[in-house]
Amino acid sequence: MIEFQHVTKRYEGQFTALRDVNFALERGEMAFLTGHSGAGKSTLLKLIMLMERPTAGQVLVGGQALEHTPRRRIPYIRRHIGVVFQNHQLLFDRTVFDNVAMPLEVTGVPPRDIARRVRAALDKVGLLKKEQLNPVSLSGGEQQRVGIARAVVNKPPLLLADEPTGNLDPALSTEIMELFREFSRVGVCVLVATHDIDLIEGMERRVLTLSEGQLTGDGPVSTMEGAH
C-alpha cells in the first residue's frame, strides 16, 4: 500500500529531514511511526500525502509511483488517504453530521448517499446518536472519534494519523488505537505517528523508528530501542 524506496528529503536551507528511508506497508497492516521530536515523522507523512516531494528516491502509494503525479491529480490521490490530526480540525459552526459529510460534499456524492455513508462512519466510531450535536458539546475523545469518522467516510484504503492521541488520557488513547485496529482488520492500511511509547507497547504491532531522519528500527515492539 505504501512503499518508500531510498527516500531522502532535504528542505531548502539544506536540512536533511529524511535520509535513505526504505520500508513497505501492506494492505490491512497497522504500524506505528515513532522517534523523538524532529526525527522526521511529519515529513514522512507529508511525502505520502503529496504535501512534500522527495529530494531523492521514490514514494509509491497503492503501487503507483507519486514521482510524476501532475498537480491536478493530487486532490484525486488524496481522496484515497484518510488523515487524522492531533487537533482533529473540526468546524464548530456545524453539526457532527456536517463535519463528517465534508469530504463527501467536496467530491459531489449525491445527498442520499452522503446521509447513508456519514451514518455508517459515525456508527463505526460509536457516535451515531450524536450526529445532530455541535462538536463543542462533545468530550475530547468523542471529538477525536468524529475526526476519525470524517477520515474514513470515503472508505480510504490508507489511513494516516499524526499524534492522534496527543491530547487524550491513556484510557481514551487506547480506545482510539482499538478503533484503528478494527479498520486494519477490514483491510485498511493504518500508519500512526506517535511518540507515546507506552501506547505503542500495549498494541503489539510493527514499529518504524526514525532517528535524525534515518530509519533505525523496523520490527515488532519487542525489538524497539528503549522498550522494556
Residue 123: count other Cβ atoms within 10 Å of its Cβ: 13
Q: Minimum CB separation from ligand ADP for residue 196, in Å?
A: 13
Query: Applying CB under 6 A, what is the total number of residues that bind ligand ADP?
Result: 22
Nearer to ligand ADP, 120 or 134 (CB): 120
The reply on whether position 138 binds ligand ADP by CB under 6 A is no
The reply on whether position 76 binds ligand ADP by CB under 6 A is no
CA distances from 143 to 54, 82, 114, 122, 151 (A): 33, 16, 20, 12, 13
177 grid coordinates: 488505537
Q: Minimum CB separation from ligand ADP for residue 41, in Å?
A: 3
Q: Minimum CB separation from ligand ADP for residue 17, in Å?
A: 3
User: Looking at the DSSP assignment, which residues form a beta bridge with residue 4?
Assistant: 23, 59
**DSSP track, 124-193:** HTT-GGGTTS-GGGS-HHHHHHHHHHHHHTT--SEEEEESTTTTS-HHHHHHHHHHHHHHHHTT-EEEEE
Q: How far apart are alpha carbons 203 and 193 in whole angstroms?
A: 14
The reply on whether position 97 binds ligand ADP by CB under 6 A is no
The reply on whether position 110 binds ligand ADP by CB under 6 A is no
Which residues, 192 to 221, sit near ligand ADP by CB under 6 A?
none
The reply on whether position 14 binds ligand ADP by CB under 6 A is no
SS percent in the chain: helix, strand, coil, step 5: 35, 25, 35
The reply on whether position 39 binds ligand ADP by CB under 6 A is yes
Q: How far apart are alpha carbons 209 and 33 in whole angstroms?
A: 6
Which residues, 148 to 177, sit near ligand ADP by CB under 6 A?
152, 155-156
Q: Minimum CB separation from ligand ADP for residue 137, in Å?
A: 25
DSSP-derived letter for residue 222 is G
The reply on whether position 11 binds ligand ADP by CB under 6 A is yes
The reply on whether position 183 binds ligand ADP by CB under 6 A is yes
Residues of this chain that interact with ligand ADP (CB under 6 A) are: 11, 13, 15, 17, 35, 37-43, 117, 120, 124, 152, 155-156, 183, 186-188
